[in-house]
Amino acid sequence: MSASIDTDVVIVGGGPAGSTAAALLAEAGHRIVLLEKAHHPRFHIGESLLPANLPLFQRLGIADEVRAIGMEKWGVEFYSPAHGRTQSYRFGDSWNKSPPHAYEVRRSQLDEILIRRAGALGAKVVQGCRAKSVEFLGDHGVRVQAQHESGEARIWQARFLIDASGRDTFLGTRFGIKQRNPRHNSSAMYAHFQGAWRHEDPRRAGDIGIFWFEHGWFWTIPLADGITSVGVVVWPYYMKRRAKPVREFFLDTIAQSPLLAERLACAQLASEVEATGNYSYRCTRSCGERYLLVGDAYSFIDPVFSSGVLFAMQGGAAAAAALDLALREPARRASAFRHFDRVSRHGPRTFSWYIYRMTRPAMQELFMDPHNPLRMREALLSLLAGDIYGRTPIWHSLRAFKMLYYLLSFLAPRRSLAAVRRRALNLRIDGATAG
């Protein structure tokens, strides 16, 4: 084992959260070590970005590189079998009209751009190196033991640690603070297809598609190279029905959405079908005296609104700001970390209210028949664009939207009560299965 090496911050994980934090901290003049267990490029799901990502790309100096790999995404299309039609939303109709689009990207390419940028700005990037253990030393910082693919062990000693390890939840697991989301748990299957149907209108060809069905919802994400990412998020009880290989089960599930099946009729699978469980979780805290948790290492919520990369990058930027202040002015560390905690909780908390209700009849009515009293539609589009961290005054309109949702639920009590009971049953089934 090699000797300890002093640095300011060790970051575990080289995805969007870790790379963003590493880039900004290195740019600010701090000594950064970024440990990534894999080698970029590597596959990762979560290819759909939001317009609110674009200012972050500009800030990092990679906007042109992202544009070169991306499929322009100008909106989102919802399909409801109960209504028998689709409903399209344009980001350009939101409260704040700019930026009016986002991108669909291969995450392998985006994540490589981000981690390469962190290295170019001065972070020491160590790929093929997995963090194995951590020791907290009080005022003396943290000591992280890592292991290279060669088997060589190395210790890094730093003043602070950022856990950006994603679903590995490096610190959450060690502290026992990772909890399955008690209000929304789900499982997923996904794969890439070649030759899927696309809109002829170039301003719609890159739209993400959301297709509701009996057991959850599907996504379709068109990519620039002709591949379409297709996935389904379902209640875990549905996955436990599987009595055949996951490939056949996935294709059978697609057949339950007639419009999606029609759009994939001439498409061919271009990848293996992957499946994952325990899809929604959170940690009970986002930071401690010498550490911060960012991105999926802190929490993961249902990806119906494509919020994952935005939360990761915003968390990474907030972590960089907090640690920059803590390193320069140690007396302000506590207040900096409190602000970081508020930012970390803000995104998942804001989106979760809508996610928990996405399968309810009243919510589907509002999405499929949008109106704009009190600028509610513009505010909702701002939410869908990820414009929740700035000063766009959407909050009164979103509160009005929630009141309208509750009113519609009250006016259809039988239907609403049936949906509530079904969701409660799903949660009980999930809990019983997990136990």
Please give the DSSP secondary-structure letter assigned to residue 48: B
Instruction: For the chain, 435 residues long, give each residue's pLDDT as a single digit of tens.
Output: 666 778 999 999 999 999 999 999 999 999 999 999 999 999 999 999 999 999 999 999 999 999 999 999 999 999 999 999 999 999 999 999 989 999 999 999 999 999 999 999 999 999 999 999 999 999 999 999 999 999 999 999 999 999 999 999 999 999 999 998 877 778 899 999 999 999 999 999 999 999 999 999 999 999 999 999 999 999 888 888 899 999 999 999 999 999 999 999 999 999 999 998 767 899 999 999 999 999 999 999 999 999 999 999 999 999 999 999 999 999 999 999 999 999 999 999 999 999 999 988 899 999 999 889 999 999 999 999 999 999 999 999 999 999 999 999 998 888 778 777 776 766 665 554 443
CA distances from 382 to 51, 57, 392 (A): 9, 19, 8
SS3 at position 361: helix
Contacts 24+ apart (CB under 8 A), 280-284: 280/180, 280/181, 280/184, 280/185, 280/186, 281/169, 281/178, 281/179, 281/180, 281/181, 282/178, 282/179, 282/181, 282/348, 283/169, 283/171, 283/172, 283/175, 283/177, 283/178, 283/179, 284/177, 284/179
pLDDT, residue 235, reads: 85
Please give the DSSP secondary-structure letter assigned to residue 176: T
Whether the Cβ atoms of residue 9 and residue 33 lie closer than 8 Å to each other: yes
SS3 at position 389: coil
